[in-house]
Structure 1
Amino acid sequence: MRNLRTISIDTRGNTAWIQTGATLGEVYYTIAATSRTLAFPAGVCPTVGVGGHFSGGGYGMISRKHGIAVDNIIDAVIINADGEILNRDSMGEDLFWAIRGGGGTSFGIVVAFKVNLVTIPETVTVFNVSRTLEQNATQIVHKWQYISDKIDENLLLRLFIISVRSPAASNGNRTIQASFTSLYLGRVEDLLPIMEQKFPELGLVEQDCIEMSWIESTLFFSYSYTATFVSKSPRAAYFNYRDLDIGRNNIEGNTKYRQASVWGFKYFEINFNRLVRVKTKVDPSNFFRNEQSVPPLSSN
């Protein structure tokens, strides 16, 4: 797919056709070369390919305000198991639904997506603030879990927890560090009052913040006690972070619905059954398959 990487921007309609071999970095660069106030809500890793990222979800730093990539897909071109080239009208709404979150590889070869572009401010604010256990990280993370989805929708507070060498120790002891890597769709003067009101525990100050354009922020993020909130009974996973340890299809031969359900429900919950019905309709011979592709019922 790497040769299919054309990106066409329509600034009048605020839309774009993006071939699935393009990378996110190429998408962002092309949009930024066209407009300083248009963007697309997707991930922060510039080398990630569009095809898998878009069809599996597409979460990013402006997703609280503008949704994820699949929320903004309005058309697609796909080659089905019979070699037919279909768009949204000819493929039907069931298949169009399936390739927006269910992964494209189970249902055909997605050649391109048409997407809505979103409008953002010319200037955004980013910050990356870290706190260790000795700096009250436990209580800060506890508060974050309760306010991160309720704070101003222009602000996304992303959390990373890692083990680091303790700055207070000379003997090589390690500690836990919580890093808040965040983006605000606006200026720092508007961000600071929000943080002071909703999340004062972090202690964010103006010196922690950097104002820049949206395209610059994508480069910024490229290099840069939650047990109660982790899904359980059963555990779940995000499709764009594949985990073959939760189950996989047979390497040879067909995979039964019950076997695929082991991993399928962890990704898609009750939507897995609808994906199976779509797969059965559009690819009953299971031509398109991989370790965690949706199986048709006819493979039982």
Structure 2
Amino acid sequence: MKTLSNFAIIFSFFSAFLLSVSWASTNHTSHQAFVQCLESHSNPTNPISAVLYSPYNPSYSSVLQDYFRNLRFNKSTIPKPRLILTALHVSHIQAAIICAKAHRMQMKIRSGGHDYEGISYWSKNPNFFILDMFNFRSINVSIEDETASVEVGAATGELAYRIAEKSRTHAFPPGVCPSVGVGGFITGGGYGNLMRKYGLSIDNVIDAQIIDVNGRLLDRKSMGEDLFWAINGGGGSSFGVLLSYKIKLVRVPNNVTVFTAIRTTHDESFTSFTDLVYRYQEVAHKLPKELFIRLILDVVNGTKTNKGTVNGTKTNRGTFLAMFLGNSQDLMSVMNKHFSELALRQTELKEMRWIESILYWYWTDLATPVDALLHTLPRGSNCFKRKSDYLKRPIPKQGLEYIFKKMVELESVVNLTFNPYGGRMAEISPSEKPFPHRAGNIFKLQYATNWKDPGEEAAHLSSTRKLHDYMTPYVSMAPREAFLNYRDLDIGINHNGRNSYLEGAVYGVKYFKDNFNRLVKIKTKVDPDNFFRNEQSIPVLPWKK
């Protein structure tokens, strides 16, 4: 019996070994066939072999990690791409689409790698590759007709620099992180501190180029208005491979004014921290369009004051960060009239060029030269988690005190950021673009936590989700709205199987509300077999005519 038992163990081990060898052999054969397909379909004048990186290539890891923004997903347990294609030419993208369909490879499209959940560079499906668009980064600015053409791999900081290079008084509504890729930023409805004056990035797009599922290069005229509508806020990677945008430039003054005003629970320059935050909620979305004031709430150690606060005691802090399209005297007048409770001091105001304000908002030393925007990379190597919400009315004072208390009690520090709406944002119809969060919203909220030690992940994720739960009574409901560019897999994942539409509707109505079903119809028309898919892509209809 013992001999039979030993034989069974050996046989099982040998069978498993043969299966693993067989799988590896099949996998290698499949990989080689895919590469051969790419090479045979690429234009000989632009050979594709020089921009293919397999795990056997010594540069593979650096190419993968150069745009690996969230280290939460850089784990050995998470599948890595079979191949990275750093396309240099349109023919490379067309070949990638043809061959991925033929060999049933999932394509992940990456421009800047800032997707908060990393779905542009990882997948639970091990049979995937990355189409990396970072080489598509040309920018052409025309001050004469106040437009610019920009490819999707350029960073928003590069775009801002090239505009400022031509004109001090022109801009584009950028984000506040200059290393974000233009492609994902625009197509997800990216915003910045000019949105109360000029709306979102997508509100200033004139034209676009995309390669569809059949490999056709299309512009606005040839793609049609439905598809053009969808890729301006609906997430372009659900519909094709975006190449470039033509954008409308906006006017800014010679100098803008910024300020950072930090206030804490025990600050003596005002009576009540709760009253201050409540007043901010009342006025920030009603201020002149030229003024955008962000509020970041977090928790820090206190300092000793004559009120008896002891150093080391956890204290709620509010950081008020502002951009004003005007001079410091006019800003001080607006603040004294509408928000005197902040007790803003003249010494807290700084005038500068618009291009310099981008570095200021990025928490960069003011001595940093603006050409640093041509080389912006994300700071450090962090793991992080983000979530979002929308506020329809001010959180009552009792609610604020409850949230302040809960923030202090959390195991990890979670920032809660208020971005005011109103102004131009309230003037645009919720159906004009796929992005529906317009009139009726007074703030977009972001929950943010960062960490370096992988062992701290559970605590940070738990703290972020708890704060999000604590906010439930105060934010939008039915649906609880969310912002696509603050990607959050907690609100739903699509396995892209038989239940794809139902799974997609779970997160889709939160991101797009009533625009979701129009996006689905367009998706079904332009990509009926759901080739362009990811964990939160737009699904196709469960039936096709």
Which TM-score bucket, shorter chain as reference? Answer: over 0.9
Cα distance between partner residues in 1 of 2:148 and 2:493:
35
**Distance change (3 Å), C-alpha of 1:154 and 1:273:** same
Cα distance between partner residues in 1 of 2:290 and 2:474:
23
Partner of 2:280: 144
Cα distance between partner residues in 2 of 1:44 and 1:102:
21
1:170 aligns with 2:310: yes
Cα distance between partner residues in 1 of 2:254 and 2:474:
35
Residue 296 of structure 2 is aligned with which of 150, 160, 174?
160
1:101 aligns with 2:233: yes
Q: CA deviation at 1:258?
A: 1.5
Contact 2:189/2:232, CA 8 A, preserved across alignment: yes
Partner of 2:322: 182
Q: CA deviation at 1:42?
A: 1.9
Q: What pairs up with 1:1-300 in 2 under 5 angstroms? A: 1-135=133-267, 136-168=272-304, 169-223=309-363, 225=400, 227=471, 229-250=474-495, 253-298=497-542
Give CA-to-partner distance per residue, 1:195-220, whole Å, 9 cap, x none. 00100100112111000000100000
Aligned-CA RMSD value: 1.5
Letter of the 2:477 counterpart: K
Cα distance between partner residues in 1 of 2:284 and 2:138:
36
Identity across aligned pairs (percent)?
Answer: 48
Contact 2:237/2:537, CA 8 A, preserved across alignment: yes
Q: CA deviation at 1:167?
A: 1.8
Cα distance between partner residues in 2 of 1:99 and 1:255:
24
**Distance change (3 Å), C-alpha of 1:59 and 1:171:** same
Letter of the 1:91 counterpart: M
Letter of the 2:494 counterpart: N
Mean CA deviation greater in 103-112 or 168-177: 168-177
Give CA-to-partner distance per residue, 1:48-92, whole Å, 9 cap, x none. 010001001111011110111000001000000000000000101
Partner of 2:376: none
Give CA-to-partner distance per residue, 1:102-135, whole Å, 9 cap, x none. 0100000110000000011010000010111223
The SS at the match of 2:502 is: helix
Contact 2:303/2:311, CA 8 A, preserved across alignment: no
Cα distance between partner residues in 2 of 1:17 and 1:187:
30
The SS at the match of 2:310 is: coil
The SS at the match of 1:134 is: coil
**Distance change (3 Å), C-alpha of 1:217 and 1:299:** farther
Letter of the 1:59 counterpart: Y
- Listed as ranges, the gaps of 5+ residues in structure 2 are 1-132, 365-399, 404-470
Contact 1:76/1:114, CA 8 A, preserved across alignment: yes
Q: CA deviation at 1:171?
A: 4.7
Give CA-to-partner distance per residue, 1:137-196, whole Å, 9 cap, x none. 211111111111111110001110001111234351111101110100010011111100
Cα distance between partner residues in 2 of 1:74 and 1:254:
37
Mean CA deviation greater in 230-239 or 258-267: 230-239
Cα distance between partner residues in 1 of 2:477 and 2:320:
25
Partner of 2:54: none
Q: CA deviation at 1:255?
A: 4.3
Mean CA deviation greater in 38-47 or 129-138: 129-138
How many residues are treated as equivalent by the alignment? Answer: 299
Q: CA deviation at 1:233?
A: 3.7
Cα distance between partner residues in 1 of 2:543 and 2:358:
43
Mean CA deviation greater in 129-138 or 190-199: 129-138
Cα distance between partner residues in 2 of 1:9 and 1:184:
25
The SS at the match of 1:269 is: helix
Q: CA deviation at 1:44?
A: 1.1
Partner of 2:392: none
The SS at the match of 1:114 is: strand
Q: Which runs of 4+ in 1 moved over 4 A?
A: 226-229
Cα distance between partner residues in 2 of 1:176 and 1:116:
41
Cα distance between partner residues in 2 of 1:33 and 1:186:
21
Q: Normalised by the size of structure 1, how large is the TM-score?
A: 0.96
Mean CA deviation greater in 118-127 or 138-147: 138-147
Letter of the 1:5 counterpart: R
Contact 1:159/1:179, CA 8 A, preserved across alignment: yes
Letter of the 1:143 counterpart: R
Contact 2:146/2:250, CA 8 A, preserved across alignment: yes
Cα distance between partner residues in 1 of 2:498 and 2:363:
42
**Distance change (3 Å), C-alpha of 1:12 and 1:229:** farther
Cα distance between partner residues in 1 of 2:336 and 2:543:
57
User: Of the two, which has the highest radius of gyration?
Assistant: 2
Specify which structure has the bigger relative contact order, considering alpha-carbon pairs within 8 angstroms and separated by 6 or more residues. Answer: 1
Cα distance between partner residues in 2 of 1:155 and 1:171:
35
Give CA-to-partner distance per residue, 1:6-63, whole Å, 9 cap, x none. 0000111000000000001111111111110010002010110100010011110111
Q: CA deviation at 1:229?
A: 4.9
Contact 1:285/1:298, CA 8 A, preserved across alignment: no
Contact 1:256/1:295, CA 8 A, preserved across alignment: yes
